[in-house]
Structure formats: structure tokens, C-alpha cells
Amino acid sequence: MSSFAFLPCRRTTLLATLCTALLAAGCAQLSGSAMRPDARLDAARLAQIDRAIEASIAERKLPGAVFHLERDGAVYEKGYGRFTYDDGATPVTPETVFDAASLSKVLSTAPSVLLLAEEGKLDLEAPLARYFPECTGSGKEAITVRQLLTHSSGMPAGLPAKPAWEGKQAALALACSRELSHPPGIFFRYSDINYILLGLLVEKVSGMPQERFAQERIFAPLGMRDTGYLPLARMAAARIAPTQRGADSAPDAALHGDLGPGQLLQGAVHDPTVRRMGGVGGSAGVFSTVRDVARFGRMLVQGGELDGVRVLSRDSVRLLTTVQSPQGLALRGMGMDIDSPYAQRPRGSVFPVGSFGHTGFTGCILWVDPQSGTFYVFLSNRVYPDDKSNILTLYTELGTLSAQAAGLAAPAPR
């Protein structure tokens, strides 16, 4: 039913022996780093995490998943279930590639915008209309880049599927034609349109496709070797967990936009809007493995640097991960969620407000506590086969148990 992997000890024979002795406690040695006994993980809590994920699989809420917990060099990592519910389906392992859905916003889009701001190529406080003059009308000329990043633009949640459209230019025109529900800066609404516009902004300002910019400036420097857009151009579909399958009826095909009858999405992005854009968008499209997402989390814990390579400045990490939203609105960084209604489940009851992270519609979480240096990653394909399962209760369990396994105490009541 499940497979697991602990990251290997390599520095000395003594460390390897220590790691072997500590396997039962769920503690593992990161390659090339020293064991810190005070960061050992709680084996009982890790067993509860295993049971919670395996119970969700048994209840057919998701066919497979992978989990990674890390604190100060202590790592627990495990794959669960299979690609599908079919007998003999491929087992999920830490090498399985998943559709990261809206984790794309914080793995690719927001960091790309911040990198361009670091270089002076765009202004975070500038109006969007400076870069896209067509994005005006109904108050849109007042929307700033900051407001797009913090979901305070007043834009609607998403782009309509009808009338039919295709391509990035059509997405831009459609986004810029939307009416605002509120003046910019006074209302929080999580909106894919905000990040679709940001992804297009990255392309316009950098002069290169978003997938290339993210690969050259984020994924490659971080050693995220299995991460990127359009995965079928880089790897076999057999490595990628499938997401949704279209039903045989025409009404179901219409409901899911361009997902045709019987079509299996395996390596094509699940998000229908980004499929219409060609598979690359600011709101979705990144595929990744648990180990790659963990490298990104480790970089954030270390202030923007990993293995001697600086990817983001400390100031960009601060903007990405600390409160940057207008006063009185849900607490968001320029990318990361801190204390919006969407944060409460993946944060659980132990991680403090001030920890941060993001989720993805396909069943993905990255959550980071910078004070303790703890983070966890959960990737799954809970949308297989019909996009009808709900695993929000599992999110809460994982958030709480991860913090407890890492030795964190529950915060005092506020």
C-alpha cells in the first residue's frame, strides 16, 4: 500500500550508524548535514500522520500521496497509495511527479515578480496599467502589482469558459475586460485572475516565457530538477500521477470545459483555464516532486539561499512570507498565505500565526514555520478521477500532527 524513503546519511560511518538507530523515531539525516538530536521527530505523531493519510486512501478520498516533514536536518518522507485505485497501479514514491496546481503561485509566479523587482525591472507599487495599458475601466487603472500579489485587487475569482477562447493573449484581454466587484485595496478575494495577470507581467517585463524564466532563475538554481511547466516535454507520463478523467457523457465534458469524454489528464495541467492558455499560467501549471518542493521550503527557511546559491534576497523572502496586505484584510504576504480563511486548515492548531504557506486544488500543501525552521509538504491527486472528493479534514490533521511531530507546542490562546 505504501512506500517510504528516508534521506541517506553520507558524511561519516558514525553518522550513518546514528541514522540507522534513529529510523524508528522517524528521524533522518539530510545529505551532507549534521544530525541535531534536539530536532528529532516524534515517532508516535509520525505514525498518526501515516494512519490519517492511509485512512483517506482507504475511504477513496485520494488514490495516492506523498508527505515530507523537516526540522533542522531531521526529515521524515513517505509515499502512500498508488496513482489510481486500480489493482496493480503504480505505487506513489517520493519521485512521483504531481500537478502542484496553485502552489505554482508561490513556487514560480510570486518569486519571479519579486526577482524582477529586485532588478529594478518592475515596481511593486506601480499600477498594472503601466505595464498593460489595456487594463483600465471600472476602476482597474488603480490596481497595483502589490494588490495582485495580495489578492486585494477587487478582481473576480476566475475567467469564464464561455464563449470559447484560447491562448495567452485571449486570457489577457478577458482578464482586462472583467468588472471589479470592489475598489482596489479594500476587499480580499482569492483570485486566479490576479496571478494570471502576474504571470503575463513576468513574460512582458522579462522578455521571455514564464516557464523559461522560472526554470532559469528559480528551479535550476535550487536544484529542483523535476520541477517545471509542461512536464511531458521533459519526462515520460509514467512518472506523473494522473488527475482527472472525463466522464463518457457529453454534459460532463461541457461541465469541465475542454476535458473531453474519457480523457485522462496525466501530465497536462488540471486547471482548465491554464489548459486553454497552453499549459503555462501564473495561477497554475507547475508540476513537481515532494523533494523539489522541500528544497524550495528549505531555501525560504534559510532566508533565500540554499547550498551556497542565493535565489531570492532576504528582502524578497520577507515580502513573500510576511504580512503585506492592506490593513484590516486577510493576512497575506506577496504570495504566501498567513492568516486568511484558507490558512486555518493547513496550519492546524499548533503552528503559530506568522507561519505561512499555500495549498493547491489538486491536493497539495507547503507550510513553513520560520521561527522553528519547520516545514511540511503534502502532494496528492485527490481530484482523481472525478474532482469530487474533499480532504480538508486531512489538511487540518496534517498541519497539527506535523507541528507536534516536530516538537512544537500549541500557542497560547489569543
CATH code, 2-105+216-241+267-329+337-405: 3.40.710.10
What residues does each domain of the chain span? 2-105+216-241+267-329+337-405, 106-207
Provide block-wise average pLDDT over 10 residues at a time, the chain (414 residues).
Answer: 40 36 37 39 95 98 98 95 97 98 98 98 98 95 98 98 97 97 98 98 98 98 98 97 79 49 92 97 98 98 98 98 98 98 97 98 98 98 96 98 94 65
Q: Which residues contact 406 (CB under 8 A, 6 or more apart)?
A: 39, 41, 42, 69, 71, 74, 372, 374
Q: Which pLDDT belongs to residue 94?
A: 97
CA distance 281 to 104: 9
Query: According to the model, what pLDDT value does residue 158 have?
Result: 98
Residue 262 is predicted with a pLDDT of 80
HEC readout, 338-350: EECCCCHHHHCCC
Indicate left, alpha or beta for 407 from its phi (over 0: left) and psi (-120 to 50: alpha). left
Residue 400, burial from CB neighbour count under 10 angstroms (0-12, 13-18, 19+): buried
Q: Indicate the pTM of the whole model.
A: 0.89
Helix (H) or strand (E) holding 251: helix 250-255
Q: What is the dihedral of CA 181, 148, 373, 313, to 10 degrees?
A: -160
Please provide residue 366's backbone torsions phi and psi, each rounded to the nearest 5 degrees.
Answer: -125, 120
For 203, the enclosing helix (H) or strand (E) is helix 192-206
What letter represents residue 143's amino acid?
Answer: I
The predicted structure's pLDDT at residue 413: 65
Rounded distance between C-alpha atoms, residue 390 and residue 393, angstroms: 8
Per CATH, the number for 106-207 is 1.20.58
The phi, psi pair for 394, rounded to 5°, reads -65, -40
Half-sphere exposure for 379 (CA within 13 Å, toward CB): 33
Can you give the pLDDT at residue 39?
A: 46
- Position 2 scores a pLDDT of 45
Positive/negative CA dihedral, 323, 326, 332, 336: negative
